[in-house]
Structure 1
């Protein structure tokens, strides 16, 4: 068996001395070994001993003729980053608000979807939308509130089209200048989902009219198909809705409402000179819209709006918590109406305003093919209007409620979610492993880690890069109390009301105007859709 020599060279030995020691070590390795010789009797040649030290003894170490056996070291990249700092990622830089701490790099983690979009390096993202996925009590709601409220200091507006639990109302009331629109509960407030909205800057008259018409038709069809469930509208029923809308626009001077369309459908169904097929096609949509005119959703969406969207408010929340107690279908119809109204008033590129649109219970926007198509269109045009849609889901399985298995609706729903490039993945349930692998294409190690995350920790995917972030590591007591969403099961005493929680935003998140990022420039740049 060949012998290997391990040498520990003195630190102060010069080059000639080191070369002589290595030559002697090679001579020892080549020397034949006899059976009578033992390891204890082996001695180094005198030529290998430097200076006055005894035979085999070297300053700073010893010779060893034994074979070195060093076991390999195995560890995750998270632990190796602590041993070898140069493998830790540098993060996304210092643009945007602080969201948390990058646990791999042990550094603050900043994030802004608009800055990530305009980033020309390989870290850039191709979308401003964000998918937030996590189980109950994983910390996703508090993290979204942290990102949104801290972004206010950077000039971004926060819009919540539908707040089903009233969680964002407390946040809006705590922030100076926040606006809350309450629906139901005797407030008398109404929103018209068919409102025209502001004129789109940079569009011709024909383009603007076409956009408004498409949005109105999409809203009407989404409401009717959602109420009908699995029943699809026929071509005749589609034509009836188009005709009723056109007649309502002509009669009201371009101020159509659900009540007006309902009345026009009734006249079409009763007119003697109307084609029998058109009469039959007007019946089904009219019965659906009846719920908004005389049913349980009356007084909310059937007439002209009685409230206005505050363009200057730092945060605008539509409180729909009272309506969501009326049943799941009422909740879905309400969310379509409020989102359509919000989309109409904020889709203006000329405003040069960047906004977060927080879509709580995002799966409710995708419960029918028409709703899916409308939702997909909103996501595609988000960067065109300076909007970042934050779509919040509890689990991938939420989308299994969309359509039948292997249906067009379900495939489109999974496609929409998969196309959202920025993803925040919080702790998920055990059964979500396959969904993360197959639907979101997460690596196996990441899918395993997602089941072990602590509250407030999440995997952040921005473009082609991923990060492990702890949001709560940078949260203040004020934020934790304000963003608490487990009041019903928390035994702690939370008596602070909105007035006690109201603070000065500049004091919380001081921003140096000289380093503040200017996002308005890219809003003025023609989008790929406009260039075509």
Structure 2
């Protein structure tokens, strides 16, 4: 006799049955199996007062049945609203409008696929970006990532916008070809070369400044230079009596040179320091003898007059500053030997003082001043003080300073926390509204994040940047930009020519 009902273990349906009968049979079979499982489950699982150490599912399943259980149903949440400022902080690099089309073309914004232009003067004067308080910038990146090409590209393309570019110190001589190709010129300094620069040259007085005020400004600049040179050679801070000796010797040398109708030289200062009786007479009854204080200073300046730097900064300048030249660089590559870099630092101090004096005229137009290989100056307080003065006066003089370093940790090499050098270095970073970061090594990410306030997303981006690609932080706004070079620029800016063997 054929079976017409389903059992709990198997389902048999006669061959000649309608579809309705088949569906009914299957439903009965499924219900019979479910009841069988419910009846057998407690015994098989050995439940003990509802405690299950293996956290297995219960039978029957708990919770409300149907769509209200949220198992497999649709969950509806209210919409979340936020401003675009909040969205840009939560999702950086998305939906960024860029800095506008004004200024120097840099390349392509990686995320928006649009062109990226940058002009610190336009951004500062227009006030489009809140927090953009100065035109200064810092550029950091490891070797081989294209930071030198970016600095040179900024310098050359700025000329098309009517700006001029000056490089106070070129330790590797890489800017000589660039300056010559653009119609500028280079002053090469070194042993046996004809170039001479007198760092005590007085710049032309601006028409808006009175003669007395300008005389005081020139004197202050000269004293700052002399103190920096002495501090570099002596490798220590100056004592109060030594500062007094420099004051007296400068005043005596200036008076004698004006009587001759000339400009004082470093040799004149050294000669006066070597005559303590003249300093004592100038000091009068104000107390103390200047002999012991002037002795070390005289020997410190002697290196620039009779030592390994003689002939470069102890004679009248053989070149005049041309404010109309599109580019001017000072080549110090012949002084960049290994080991003690004191000679190079002294030359950088003198060359920077000479060029900064020439740039003191606020009517000279808008100019870029690029400090290449600036990591060399971080251990020397005198050079940091000169750079700080240049940074603070940038807006009044119409100057955009660009500092090029390898790592952000170079700023920490200026000294211990709280030291004068560290404070100056961190102050330079704080006075840069634009920070350009090329790829950093993994062990440098923590320092970069701390100094620049990078977000987690930005830190990950910096670690993965490829050649020519950098993170631009402009007054808090972030961009990932691919620098684009013309083939002629690529050939002109090539810094790896010596690493490539000729075919």
What's the TM-score once normalised by structure 2's chain length? 0.78
Cα distance in structure 1, aligned partners of 2:279 and 2:326: 50
Q: Select the residue among 153, 157, 163 that pairs with 2:164.
A: 157
Q: How many pairs are equivalent?
A: 419
Kept in 1, the 8 Å contact 2:272–2:278? The answer is no
Deviation at 1:269, TM superposition (A): 6.1
For the Cα contact (< 8 Å) 1:161–1:342, is it kept in 2?
yes
Q: 2:208 aligns with which of 202, 208, 215?
A: 202
Name 1:262's counterpart in structure 2. Answer: 270
- Rounded to whole Å, the distance in 1 between the matches of 2:94 and 2:386 is 44
2:247 to 233, 242, 245: 242
- Structure 1 residue 355 and structure 2 residue 367: aligned? yes
Q: Secondary structure at the match of 1:435?
A: helix
Q: Which of 112, 120, 124 matches 2:119?
A: 112
CA displacement at 1:372 relative to structure 2: 2.5
- Counterparts of 1:461 and 1:492, CA distance in 2: 40
* Structure 1 range deviating more: 483-492 or 93-102: 483-492
Query: Following the alignment from structure 1 to structure 2, what is the Cα–Cα distance between the partners of residues 192 and 165?
Result: 22
Measured after TM superposition, the shift of residue 369 of structure 1 is: 3.4
Q: Tell whether the 8 Å contact from 2:94 to 2:111 is kept in structure 1 after alignment.
A: no
Question: 1:232 is matched with which residue?
Answer: 237
Q: d(CA) in 2 for partners of 1:88 and 1:490? A: 42
**For residues 424 and 264 of structure 1, do their structure 2 counterparts lie closer, same or farther at Cα, with a shift above 3 Å needed?**
same
1:71-129: CA deviation from partner (whole Å, max 9, x where unpaired): xxxxxxxxx99xx9x95212111111211111111011011111111122235621111
| Unpaired segments ≥5 residues, structure 2 | 1-26, 31-70, 77-86
Counterparts of 1:414 and 1:66, CA distance in 2: 57
SS at match of 1:161: strand
Give 1:127's aligned residue: 134
Shift of 1:271: 7.3
Alpha-carbon deviation of 1:420? Answer: 1.2
- Which of residues 312, 317, 321 is equivalent to 1:305? 317
Measured after TM superposition, the shift of residue 324 of structure 1 is 1.8
Q: After superposition, where does 1:238-387 map in structure 2 within 5 Å? A: 238-253=243-258, 255-268=263-276, 277-325=289-337, 327-351=340-364, 353-387=365-399
Match of 1:317, SS state, is strand
Q: Distance in 1 between matches of 2:383 and 2:324?
A: 29
- d(CA) in 1 for partners of 2:29 and 2:332? 91
Deviation at 1:386, TM superposition (A): 0.9
Give yes or no for contact 1:100–1:109 (8 Å, CA) kept in 2: yes
Counterpart in 2 of 1:423?
435
In 2, are the aligned partners of 1:162 and 1:319 still within 8 Å (CA)?
yes
Q: Given that residues 248 and 279 in structure 2 are in contact (C-alpha distance below 8 angstroms), is that contact kept between their aligned partners in structure 1?
A: no
Stretches of structure 1 that go unaligned for 5 or more consecutive residues are 1-34, 39-64, 71-79, 494-532
The match for 1:515 is none
Paired residue for 2:43? none
1:484 partner SS: coil
Question: What's the RMSD between the two structures over aligned residues?
Answer: 2.8
The answer to whether the 8 A contact 2:439-2:462 is kept is yes
Per-residue Cα deviation, 1:10-54 (whole angstroms, up to 9, x for no partner) = xxxxxxxxxxxxxxxxxxxxxxxxx9799xxxxxxxxxxxxxxxx
Deviations 1:268-305 (A, max 9, x none): 26878687631111111111100010000000011211
Q: 2-side partners of 1:331 and 1:443: how far apart?
A: 38
Please state if 1:463 is matched with 2:475: yes
Q: CA deviation at 1:194?
A: 1.1
In 2: Cα distance, 1:258 partner to 1:384 partner? 30
Distance (Å, rounded) in 1 between the aligned partners of 2:204 and 2:352 = 16
- 1:360 and 1:392 in contact (8 A); partners too: yes
Distance in 2 between the 1:102 and 1:37 partners? 65
**Cross-structure match for 2:145:** 138
Contact 1:161–1:318 at 8 Å: present in 2 too?
A: yes
Question: 1 CA distance for matches of 2:167 and 2:214?
Answer: 25
Aligned with 2:291: secondary structure? Answer: helix
| Distance change in 2, residues 1:391/1:272 (3 Å) | closer
The 5-angstrom pairing of residues 92-111 of structure 1 reads: 92-111=99-118
Answer yes or no: is the 8 Å Cα contact 1:96–1:154 preserved in 2: yes
**2:197 match:** 191
Q: Distance in 1 between matches of 2:301 and 2:361?
A: 29
**8 Å contact kept, 2:439–2:464:** yes
CA contact (8 A) 2:265 2:316 kept: yes
TM-score, normalised relative to structure 1: 0.74
1:217 matched residue in structure 2: 223
Deviation at 1:444, TM superposition (A): 2.5
Structure 1 or 2, whichever has the larger Rg, is 2
Q: CA deviation at 1:241?
A: 0.5
Mapped to 2, the partners of 1:452 and 1:344 lie a distance apart of 42
